Structure 1
Amino acid sequence: MSTPPAGAGLRVLHLGKFYPPASGGMEGHVRTLALGQAALGARVEVICANHSADGTGTSHEFLGRSPTREDWDGPVRVVRLGRRASVARMDLLTDLPGALWRALGRGVDVVHLHTPNPTMVLALDAVPRLPPVFITHHSDVIRQRVAGALFRPFEALLYARACRVLATSDAYVSGSALLRAFRSKVRALPLGIDVSPFLHPSASARTEEARWREVTSGEPLWLMVGRLVYYKGLFTALEALTRVPGRLVVVGEGPVEAEARRQAKALGVEARVMWAGYLSPDALAGAYRAATALWFPSNARSEAYGLSQVEAMASGLPVLNTAIPHSGVPWVSRHEETGLTVPVGDAVALARAARRLLDEPGLAQQLGRGGRERAMGALRHDVMAARSLELYAEALGRPMSVAEAPSEVPARAASGRS
């Protein structure tokens, strides 16, 4: 008799901020986790805000009202709630109470909230009786100090009700006052990705790789990937570019782009910076394969993890990141193992690390192999999904046999970029 899937019959409701095609690390993680849990037999639903009026595009900047709509992402029901307004990163979702009530009425064993997410926190605070609540704490609120202080009591109220609070890495816990306050219920759930598109790129991705190589004409290609916000360290990267050869390809959009373009011109590197905007999955996979290294010079604990590091590592690409105190960033990509880690905000050190990849024979290949091995191990999406179900079962006192995800991969996938 065949063994039922590990999550068979478990009903999970995820509450996110947005959902792809909206861009962002949290958005991508919610989708990856939801699909991974569904593949293990769980019945999964997601409630989030609708990022755009017509359901297209990737930006979730508020550009006007959006409608409520429901769709399916494979086996996952996705309810996207219309936004009426957005103030201080809090979205007004007038349909949220009804949508939450209907979802709970369909039957829910676990409510899994992803924070920071003030709208959903307030909604859950207002519900007197909830199924067991699990919270993935993606990041502290760092920059919005006044709003964060005003909101903290509501956040603490829900964290006190939660069965478990899931940190993306153990490294983040000691620097977070909120996580330390609930240390007894904190568990680590490292974020994982589906490594397959990076281990076995499609024909389209390989075409994109060739295009990127043609564009750079043999020069080093330094890659940055992510929303262009204050903590990404883009200005540090631009200064570092003045000290190394090659081109910097900036993948993403965001509020600091205009200022960064002006800075690139002032530094005299304007012609060596390519502003790529958001790329299709195949174009991004091709860029990872063509690049010399991923630059990840983030400068604040708002950057708690960095999923683009895992994508680069799965592609066999070295990562140059920063030693952000009490952040998971240097935990994801480890110094001298999968990349090189430099001090925060130090453009000279970033340039020196980049130079090492160019000047030390075999170093880039060694780090690329180390990164791929790490991504294929602890940082896979199926490992993450199975671990999440184990954490649910442990907290709920329910025996659940989660089959161990396969640790072996074809030998050709572990040999570096092919």
Structure 2
Amino acid sequence: MRVLHFYKTYYPDSLGGVEQVIRQLCVGTARLGVRNEVLTLTRGSDLASFTFEGHLVHRLRQDFEIASTGFAFAAFERLARLARACDVVHYHFPWPFMDLAHFVARVRKPSVLTYHSDIVRQKRLLRLYQPLGTRFLRRVDRIVATSPNYLATSSVLAGHRDKTEVITYGLDQTLYPAPEAARLARWRLRAGPRFFLFVGVLRYYKGLHILLDAVAGTGHPVVIVGAGPVERALKEHARRLGLHQVLFVGALGDADKVALLTLCYGLVFPSHLRSEAFGISLLEGAMHGKPMISSEIGTGTSYINIDGLTGLVVPPGDPHAFGRAMRTLWENPALALAMGRRARARYLELFTAAQMAKRYAALYRGLAAGRVPLAVGAGHAGAPPV
């Protein structure tokens, strides 16, 4: 069984949530006999194919970018050639160029599309793209939503329910390095004995300005891991508010990230727009047994974090509510500890990479064999939306 993944960015160029999901899928399904390859774009000059954690990665030079959509004319021929040699093509949505490439390359192999997110921000360009996107979604054989919450609230997916099922993201903790004592000691010295943690790319929809407003005047320590387009503006905002207890540490490798996840008191995730379709770093917090604070935006964040069970969920864009939630956890260590334990239990129940890989491997084999009826319980992932 040979599967080709197609997405705009991948390791080592980019370490975002979708890239992490593809990585976990490739490693997990390989254990079940699936041979994975990834076709992606790069801004770099090294275009040699290479093996990463057991799967082959092909890179094409990106020619230009419009509204976060990378284009590479060489992708048409390469996608056509690689698709002919595989059993299933796995697309990762959204990436409008991918839709175009599918039709230009005349891909005829069975196809599955993981619907990672609606297109939220580019409203004008969306109107131009919509006919192509709708045609593409109709053409693929199966669509996978990443949580029952997102399936229930996406107007786009509502038009394709007959071929959409839910397979949630999963993480394999063994792919993360074990925290070293010396590294833990360094971060404990730098961050302090008790702190809240945010991990993610610093983008507009992450709601970090809300987090900064929430901790103004509270003294609650916060460590922010990540870099991105709004980093400078956020640091200036923190300076204006006098937030000396907020530590921006930039983008970190897995070893340092795991150390901070191990040490932190709780995970804060203030994303306030539907561009945040799931929240891999939120799931990493659950995997490490941490209580979480997130906002209700109708996406997978509230499938990971259940209000009152694994953490607290507040209205989006409300710094006062977010601050109250932080104070509740900060002043109630026993509650925070209990929520963290339940978060870990929920991760083990629903969100392991082994569970995700098993379901995708079965889907791949069904597609390759020409069997594409929805799985039992499709659309629910074994549980109703929450």
What is the TM-score normalised by the length of structure 2? Answer: 0.91
Question: 1:355 — aligned with what?
Answer: 327
Question: 2:307 — aligned with what?
Answer: 335
2:40 corresponds, among 40, 43, 48, to 48
Question: 1:375 — aligned with what?
Answer: 347
Does the Cα contact within 8 Å between 2:80 and 2:105 map onto a contact in 1?
no
Q: Secondary structure at the match of 1:377?
A: helix
Q: Structure 2 vs 1, CA of residues 203 and 290 (structure 1 numbering), >3 Å: closer, same or farther?
A: closer
Does the Cα contact within 8 Å between 2:76 and 2:105 map onto a contact in 1?
no
Would you say 1:315 and 2:288 are equivalent positions?
A: yes
Does the Cα contact within 8 Å between 1:169 and 1:190 map onto a contact in 2?
yes
Does the Cα contact within 8 Å between 1:67 and 1:83 map onto a contact in 2?
no
> In the aligned structure 1, how far is the partner of 2:328 from the partner of 2:219?
12
What is the CA-CA distance between 1:214 and the residue it aligns to? Answer: 1.4
Identity within the alignment, %: 34
Q: Secondary structure at the match of 1:69?
A: coil
What is the CA-CA distance between 1:162 and the residue it aligns to? Answer: 1.1
Question: 2:116 — aligned with what?
Answer: 138
Residue identity opposite 1:304 in structure 2? A
Question: 1:19 — aligned with what?
Answer: 10
> In the aligned structure 2, how far is the partner of 1:235 from the partner of 1:224?
12
Q: Structure 2 vs 1, CA of residues 243 and 394 (structure 1 numbering), >3 Å: closer, same or farther?
A: farther
Across the aligned residues of Structure 1 and Structure 2, the Cα RMSD in angstroms comes to 1.7
Q: Structure 2 vs 1, CA of residues 217 and 275 (structure 1 numbering), >3 Å: closer, same or farther?
A: closer
2:248 corresponds, among 275, 278, 282, to 275
Residue identity opposite 2:271 in structure 1? S
Q: Structure 2 vs 1, CA of residues 72 and 102 (structure 1 numbering), >3 Å: closer, same or farther?
A: same
What is the CA-CA distance between 1:244 and the residue it aligns to? Answer: 2.7
> In the aligned structure 1, how far is the partner of 2:191 from the partner of 2:143?
45
1:98 corresponds, among 45, 55, 77, to 77
> In the aligned structure 2, how far is the partner of 1:195 from the partner of 1:310?
11
Residue identity opposite 1:154 in structure 2? L
| Cα displacement string for residues 381-401 of structure 1 (whole angstroms, at most 9, x for unaligned residues) | 1110111122234455559xx
Residue identity opposite 2:18 in structure 1? M
> In the aligned structure 2, how far is the partner of 1:244 from the partner of 1:288?
22
What is the CA-CA distance between 1:149 and the residue it aligns to? Answer: 1.6
Q: Secondary structure at the match of 1:254?
A: coil
Q: Determine which structure has greater relative contact order: mean sequence separation of CA pairs < 8 Å that are 6+ residues apart, divided by chain length.
A: 2
What is the TM-score normalised by the length of structure 1? Answer: 0.85
| Cα displacement string for residues 211-259 of structure 1 (whole angstroms, at most 9, x for unaligned residues) | 22212333x3111111111110100000111143232111111111111
1:35 corresponds, among 24, 27, 30, to 27
What is the CA-CA distance between 1:202 and the residue it aligns to? Answer: 2.0
Question: 1:241 — aligned with what?
Answer: 215
> In the aligned structure 1, how far is the partner of 2:364 from the partner of 2:135?
21
| Cα displacement string for residues 180-226 of structure 1 (whole angstroms, at most 9, x for unaligned residues) | 1111111001011112366xx6253x4332222212333x3111111
Question: 1:73 — aligned with what?
Answer: 52
What is the CA-CA distance between 1:74 and the residue it aligns to? Answer: 3.2
Would you say 1:185 and 2:167 are equivalent positions?
A: no
Question: 2:384 — aligned with what?
Answer: none
Residue identity opposite 1:233 in structure 2? G
List aligned pairs for 1:142-161, cutoff 5 A: 142-161=120-139
> In the aligned structure 2, how far is the partner of 1:244 from the partner of 1:322?
20
What is the CA-CA distance between 1:67 and the residue it aligns to? Answer: 4.6
What is the CA-CA distance between 1:302 and the residue it aligns to? Answer: 0.4
Does the Cα contact within 8 Å between 1:236 and 1:297 map onto a contact in 2?
yes
2:178 corresponds, among 202, 209, 221, to 202
> In the aligned structure 1, how far is the partner of 2:191 from the partner of 2:179?
20
Does the Cα contact within 8 Å between 1:125 and 1:157 map onto a contact in 2?
no
What is the CA-CA distance between 1:163 and the residue it aligns to? Answer: 1.1
Does the Cα contact within 8 Å between 1:207 and 1:286 map onto a contact in 2?
no
> In the aligned structure 1, how far is the partner of 2:182 from the partner of 2:17?
26
Q: Secondary structure at the match of 1:193?
A: coil
Q: Secondary structure at the match of 1:274?
A: strand
> In the aligned structure 2, how far is the partner of 1:165 from the partner of 1:46?
19
Q: Secondary structure at the match of 1:136?
A: strand
> In the aligned structure 2, how far is the partner of 1:133 from the partner of 1:102?
15
> In the aligned structure 2, how far is the partner of 1:254 from the partner of 1:272?
21
Residue identity opposite 1:77 in structure 2? L
> In the aligned structure 2, how far is the partner of 1:293 from the partner of 1:232?
17
Q: Secondary structure at the match of 1:250?
A: strand
> In the aligned structure 2, how far is the partner of 1:361 from the partner of 1:187?
39
Q: Structure 2 vs 1, CA of residues 135 and 371 (structure 1 numbering), >3 Å: closer, same or farther?
A: same
> In the aligned structure 1, how far is the partner of 2:360 from the partner of 2:184?
34
Question: 2:377 — aligned with what?
Answer: none
Residue identity opposite 1:113 in structure 2? Y
Q: Secondary structure at the match of 1:91?
A: strand
> In the aligned structure 2, how far is the partner of 1:46 from the partner of 1:361?
44
